[in-house]
Amino acid sequence: MSALLSTRALSKHFDGLVAVSDVDLDLTVGEVRALIGPNGAGKTTLVGMICGRIAPSSGTVAFDGRDITALPAHKRIGLGMAYTFQITSVFARLSVRENVALAARRRLAGGHVDSAVHEALAQVGLEERAGEEAGNLSYGHQRLLEIAMGLAQAPRLLILDEPTQGLSEGEIARFTGLIGGLRGQTTVLLIEHNMRVVWDVADRVTVLNFGEVLAEGTPQEIHENRAVQAAYLGTEAG
């Protein structure tokens, strides 16, 4: 399979602090990739550089064979990237439906928007909350709304930063099923601390530690990797 996203020697320094160092990452079309590591490992900084919200200190980002290192975030959305972040960014005064419609209109016009909104809300289980103000949703439901906003864009690459944070067990199970349903259609890059979710949904796992790639492999390989166990899994995965 060809690579949809590739980074080469991607690095970011903040006032002398090395947040990300020489990261090479290749995501193949249709795969679900989990990005894990201890707090402060550089995961969100790496995703910020992939999305175009953070300028790298050095290195390159390519999308579908095109160098996009200097491309601003909104142009990357136009190429087919969608992302959610740890801090929710919904429009609190707009309804759930209107939030998703705004996202859908980035790629659709006219009557197609309504069907895209309905489908995205159904996928995350929020169709019955469509008329509510987004600001009245619980934190977990706002996370699901953000995922629906991403899905409504029919992205080629969906990037999710801690999507199960604040979700109930039932909502996490639904999310796991949702990602499984996207496999093969949408490439997914997932930052996640819930290791049960990682083992259930990921095709491959990349482990960051101190801004560098510590290991990469299948969930089984990562689970059995002693260096990963020492750095991360022994304290966080049980």
- β-strand partners of 226: none
Judge whether residue 237 has pLDDT over 50. no
pLDDT at residue number 238: 38
Rounded mean pLDDT of 174-185? 90
Q: What span, in angstroms and rounded, lies between the C-alpha atoms of 8 and 24?
A: 5
DSSP-derived 3-state class of residue 162: coil
Give kind and range of the element (H or E) at residue 145: helix 139-151
Structural domains of the chain, with CATH = 3-80+155-236 (3.40.50.300), 92-153 (no CATH)
Judge whether residue 232 has pLDDT over 70. yes
Between CA 197 and CA 205, with CA 200 as vertex, the angle to 5 degrees is: 80
Contact 28, 2 (CB under 8 A): yes
Query: How does pLDDT run across 90-113, given as a tens digit for each residue?
Result: 999 999 999 999 989 877 766 789
pLDDT band at 158 (very low <50, low <70, confident <90, very high): very high
Judge whether residue 140 has pLDDT over 60. yes
Strands 212-217 and 204-209: antiparallel
Q: What span, in angstroms and rounded, lies between the C-alpha atoms of 36 and 208?
A: 6
pLDDT at residue number 106: 78
- The answer for residues whose C-beta is within 8 angstroms of residue 181's C-beta and 6 or more apart is 123
pLDDT at residue number 108: 77
Query: How does pLDDT run across 18-62, given as a tens digit for each residue?
Result: 999 999 999 999 999 999 999 899 999 999 999 999 999 999 999
Place of tokens 């996640």: 192
